[in-house]
Homo-oligomer: A and B are copies of this chain.
Protein backbone atom coordinates (compact mmCIF):
# COMPACT_ATOMS: atom_id res chain seq x y z
CA UNK A 1 0.00 0.00 0.00
CA UNK A 2 0.94 3.60 -0.53
CA UNK A 3 0.87 5.48 2.77
CA UNK A 4 -0.67 8.97 2.81
CA UNK A 5 1.16 11.43 5.04
CA UNK A 6 -0.31 14.83 5.85
CA UNK A 7 2.21 17.49 6.84
CA UNK A 8 0.48 20.03 9.08
CA UNK A 9 1.68 23.19 10.72
CA UNK A 10 4.47 25.71 10.41
CA UNK A 11 5.04 27.12 6.92
CA UNK A 12 8.14 29.27 7.43
CA UNK A 13 10.95 26.73 7.26
CA UNK A 14 11.91 23.92 4.88
CA UNK A 15 10.86 21.02 7.08
CA UNK A 16 8.38 19.70 4.55
CA UNK A 17 10.97 19.69 1.77
CA UNK A 18 13.44 17.84 3.98
CA UNK A 19 10.91 15.15 4.84
CA UNK A 20 9.81 14.73 1.25
CA UNK A 21 13.40 14.57 0.03
CA UNK A 22 14.36 12.11 2.74
CA UNK A 23 11.45 9.84 1.99
CA UNK A 24 12.26 9.93 -1.69
CA UNK A 25 15.89 9.12 -1.04
CA UNK A 26 14.79 6.18 1.07
CA UNK A 27 12.46 4.98 -1.69
CA UNK A 28 9.45 4.90 0.61
CA UNK A 29 6.02 4.12 -0.79
CA UNK A 30 4.41 7.31 0.52
CA UNK A 31 2.55 10.30 -0.83
CA UNK A 32 2.57 13.62 0.97
CA UNK A 33 -0.07 16.27 1.23
CA UNK A 34 -0.18 19.63 2.96
CA UNK A 35 -2.15 22.84 3.29
CA UNK A 36 -1.45 25.57 0.76
CA UNK A 37 1.85 26.90 2.08
CA UNK A 38 1.85 30.18 0.15
CA UNK A 39 1.18 32.50 3.09
CA UNK A 40 -0.52 35.37 1.26
CA UNK A 41 -2.59 33.07 -0.93
CA UNK A 42 -3.70 31.21 2.18
CA UNK A 43 -4.75 34.46 3.83
CA UNK A 44 -6.51 36.04 0.89
CA UNK A 45 -7.95 33.12 -1.06
CA UNK A 46 -11.50 33.52 0.15
CA UNK A 47 -11.83 37.20 -0.59
CA UNK A 48 -9.88 36.94 -3.85
CA UNK A 49 -12.24 34.33 -5.27
CA UNK A 50 -15.57 34.93 -3.54
CA UNK A 51 -15.51 38.71 -3.15
CA UNK A 52 -13.69 41.29 -1.02
CA UNK A 53 -14.77 42.01 2.54
CA UNK A 54 -14.56 45.38 4.29
CA UNK A 55 -14.22 43.70 7.66
CA UNK A 56 -10.99 41.84 8.39
CA UNK A 57 -12.91 39.24 10.41
CA UNK A 58 -14.93 38.13 7.40
CA UNK A 59 -11.94 38.36 5.09
CA UNK A 60 -10.25 35.88 7.40
CA UNK A 61 -13.33 33.72 7.78
CA UNK A 62 -13.80 33.31 4.03
CA UNK A 63 -10.18 32.35 3.62
CA UNK A 64 -10.06 30.00 6.57
CA UNK A 65 -13.18 28.20 5.40
CA UNK A 66 -11.88 27.77 1.88
CA UNK A 67 -8.62 26.41 3.25
CA UNK A 68 -10.63 24.07 5.47
CA UNK A 69 -12.08 22.33 2.40
CA UNK A 70 -8.55 21.34 1.47
CA UNK A 71 -7.03 20.71 4.86
CA UNK A 72 -9.81 18.64 6.43
CA UNK A 73 -10.21 16.48 3.34
CA UNK A 74 -6.50 15.71 3.15
CA UNK A 75 -6.20 15.29 6.90
CA UNK A 76 -9.13 12.86 7.00
CA UNK A 77 -7.63 10.77 4.23
CA UNK A 78 -4.16 10.61 5.76
CA UNK A 79 -2.77 7.43 7.30
CA UNK A 80 -0.33 9.46 9.39
CA UNK A 81 -0.41 13.15 10.35
CA UNK A 82 2.86 14.94 11.05
CA UNK A 83 2.33 18.16 13.01
CA UNK A 84 5.12 20.73 13.14
CA UNK A 85 5.39 23.49 15.73
CA UNK A 86 8.04 26.11 15.00
CA UNK A 87 9.55 28.92 17.02
CA UNK A 88 7.57 31.77 15.64
CA UNK A 89 3.82 32.35 15.75
CA UNK A 90 1.34 30.65 18.00
CA UNK A 91 0.32 28.07 15.43
CA UNK A 92 -3.00 27.30 16.94
CA UNK A 93 -4.00 25.74 13.64
CA UNK A 94 -1.28 23.09 14.07
CA UNK A 95 -2.67 22.17 17.48
CA UNK A 96 -6.17 22.25 16.01
CA UNK A 97 -5.11 19.74 13.36
CA UNK A 98 -3.52 17.55 16.02
CA UNK A 99 -6.78 17.51 17.97
CA UNK A 100 -8.70 16.76 14.80
CA UNK A 101 -6.42 13.83 13.97
CA UNK A 102 -6.58 12.56 17.55
CA UNK A 103 -10.37 12.47 17.46
CA UNK A 104 -10.22 10.55 14.17
CA UNK A 105 -7.80 8.06 15.71
CA UNK A 106 -5.17 8.80 13.07
CA UNK A 107 -1.56 8.24 14.24
CA UNK A 108 0.23 11.53 14.94
CA UNK A 109 3.94 12.33 14.78
CA UNK A 110 4.73 15.66 16.45
CA UNK A 111 7.78 17.64 15.42
CA UNK A 112 8.99 20.46 17.65
CA UNK A 113 12.06 21.82 19.43
CA UNK A 114 12.52 20.24 22.88
CA UNK A 115 12.00 23.56 24.66
CA UNK A 116 8.32 23.50 23.68
CA UNK A 117 7.86 20.16 25.40
CA UNK A 118 6.01 21.40 28.46
CA UNK A 119 3.69 23.75 26.57
CA UNK A 120 2.90 20.98 24.10
CA UNK A 121 2.53 18.16 26.62
CA UNK A 122 -1.15 17.52 25.82
CA UNK A 123 -0.35 17.31 22.11
CA UNK A 124 2.68 15.08 22.69
CA UNK A 125 0.58 12.82 24.90
CA UNK A 126 -1.82 12.30 21.98
CA UNK A 127 1.01 11.46 19.58
CA UNK A 128 2.63 8.11 18.88
CA UNK A 129 6.03 9.70 18.22
CA UNK A 130 7.66 13.00 19.21
CA UNK A 131 10.54 14.08 16.99
CA UNK A 132 12.91 17.01 17.05
CA UNK A 133 14.16 16.94 13.48
CA UNK A 134 12.68 16.23 10.07
CA UNK A 135 15.29 13.51 9.66
CA UNK A 136 13.85 11.69 12.65
CA UNK A 137 10.44 11.86 11.01
CA UNK A 138 11.91 10.30 7.87
CA UNK A 139 13.48 7.55 9.96
CA UNK A 140 10.12 6.93 11.65
CA UNK A 141 8.42 6.68 8.27
CA UNK A 142 11.09 4.32 6.95
CA UNK A 143 10.56 2.04 9.92
CA UNK A 144 6.77 2.24 9.90
CA UNK A 145 6.27 1.98 6.16
CA UNK A 146 9.15 -0.22 5.07
CA UNK A 147 10.22 -1.90 8.29
CA UNK A 148 13.82 -0.73 7.94
CA UNK A 149 15.96 0.34 10.90
CA UNK A 150 19.63 1.10 10.26
CA UNK A 151 21.92 -1.05 12.35
CA UNK A 152 19.24 -3.69 12.72
CA UNK A 153 17.33 -4.74 9.67
CA UNK A 154 20.29 -4.17 7.34
CA UNK A 155 22.53 -6.37 9.47
CA UNK A 156 19.92 -9.02 9.71
CA UNK A 157 19.67 -9.12 5.98
CA UNK A 158 23.42 -9.32 5.62
CA UNK A 159 23.48 -12.19 8.08
CA UNK A 160 20.92 -14.25 6.23
A interface, CB within 8 angstroms of B: 1, 3-4, 31, 33, 36, 38, 40-41, 44-46, 48-51, 54-58, 60-70, 72-74, 77, 79-80, 85, 89-105, 107, 109, 117-126, 128-132, 136, 139-140, 143-145, 147, 149-153, 156
Contact = CB atoms under 8 A, between A and B. Distances in A.
B119 A44 contact: no
B123 A49 contact: no
Contact of A73 (B48, B89, B107, B147): B107
Contacts of A136: 49-50
Contact of A123 (B31, B93, B124): B93
A126 B41 contact: no
A144 B66 contact: yes
Contacts of A153: 36, 38, 41
| Interface pairs A-B: 3 shortest CB-CB | A99-B99, A64-B125, A103-B103
Contact of A102 (B4, B38, B80, B100): B100
A51 B132 CA distance: 10
Given A38-B153, A49-B136, A56-B117, A99 B107 contact: no
Contacts of A102: 96, 99-100, 103
